[in-house]
Amino acid sequence: MNLSSEKLRALAWCAAAYAVAIGAAVAAGYMVREELHPLLVVAVADAVGTLIIFGFSVAFRNSSFYDPYWSVAPMVMVVYWALAGVSAGADTTRQILVAALVWVWGARLTFNFLKGWSNVRHEDWRYVNLRAANGRAYWLVSFLGIHFAPTAWVYLGCLALYPALSSSRAFGAVDLFAAIVTAGAIALEWISDRQLWRFRTANATPGAIMKSRLWKYSRHPNYLGEVLFWWGLFLCGLGANPDAWWTLAGPVGITLLFVFISIPMIDKRHLARRPEYAEHVRTTSALMLLPPRR
C-alpha cells in the first residue's frame, strides 16, 4: 500500500502523541503505585494520558488525535493489571486469554481508525459540528465531552479487567462462555466494518446506503459488536470473581452511550444527507440483528 507524505506525517505525529501519552501515564502510575490501589493507579495514569492527548489535539487544532485512545488505553491497562496479577498468583490461563482478546480488539480498532485518517487536518465530522456550534467554548467542550467523558466510559468498561487479571480462581465454564462472547463480538465488529469498507470503496453512487449482509439486519452491526465486546469483558470479570457484579457499570454505561448518543447522532446525519434513509430507519433495527420490518 502506497502512503502519501501527508498520511505518513499524520501517522508519525499520532505515534509520537501516543508514545508521549503512554510514557507520561506510566510515569504517573509509577509515582503513585505504593500509595494507591491498582484501580486508582490506572485512573491517575489514564487522566494523565488523556491530558497529554488533549494537548496534541489543541496544538494541531484537531480533536481526532483522541480517537485512537478508546482502543489504545485498554491495551495498556491490561498489561499493568496482568503484571500486578502475576505477583498475586492470578490464574495464568485466564490472564493470557483476556489479554489476547483485548489486544486483538484494540489493535484492529486502532488500525481501522488509522486506515481512514488521511492527514493531521482530517477531523471527525462530529467534532467539526461541535466546533461550529460552540464557537469559543469549543475547547472546553472538547476537553470535557470529547476527551474526558469517553476516557471515563472506557475506564468503567475496563474495570472488569481487574478481577479477570488478578483472580486466582480456576478457569471454568463461565470463563469459557465469556471468552466466546468477547471473541464473537470482535469478529462481528471486524466483519461488519470490513463489509462497510468494501461497500464504500466499490460503490460510486453518492449517498448509497449499505443494506446487504449484516447491514440488512442492523443499521449499525459494528456498534453491536462494540457493545457486546464490553459485555464480554464484564463476563470475564464475573467468571474470575462472582462478587465483581459492580463492574456492571461499565457495559451498561457504554450501551447507553451507543443507544442514546452515538446511534441517534449518526442517524440524524444520514437522514439529513440521504432522504431515503428514513425508510431504512423504518425497516431496519438500529442495533440488534433482526429481520427487516415490512
One-letter amino acid at 56 equals F
Q: Which residues contact 251 (CB under 8 A, 6 or more apart)?
A: 157, 160, 227, 230, 231, 233, 234
Q: Cell numbers at residue 106, please?
A: 484494540
**pLDDT tens per residue, range 222-279:** 999 999 999 999 999 999 999 999 999 999 999 999 999 999 999 999 999 988 999 9
Q: What is the pTM of this model?
A: 0.95
Please, which pLDDT band fits residue 61 given cuts at 50, 70 and 90? very high
Yes or no: say if 127 and 63 are a contact pair by the CB < 8 Å rule.
yes
In 86-153, which ranges are E strands?
A: none
Yes or no: say if 73 and 118 are a contact pair by the CB < 8 Å rule.
no
One-letter amino acid at 182 equals T
Q: Give pLDDT, residue 207.
A: 78
Yes or no: say if 167 and 247 are a contact pair by the CB < 8 Å rule.
no
Q: Give pLDDT, residue 90.
A: 87
**Quick one: CA dihedral 122, 124, 129, 134, positive or negative?**
negative
**Quick one: CA dihedral 284, 287, 289, 290, positive or negative?**
negative
**Quick one: CA dihedral 166, 172, 174, 176, positive or negative?**
positive
Q: What is the DSSP letter of 291?
A: P
Q: Cell numbers at residue 135, please?
A: 464557537
Between CA 207 and CA 216 the distance in angstroms is 17
pLDDT value at 2 more than 90: no
Q: Which residues contact 18 (CB under 8 A, 6 or more apart)?
A: 53, 68, 72
Mean pLDDT across 122-148: 96
Q: Cell numbers at residue 216, please?
A: 440488512
What are the residue ranges spanned by the domains of the chain?
5-283
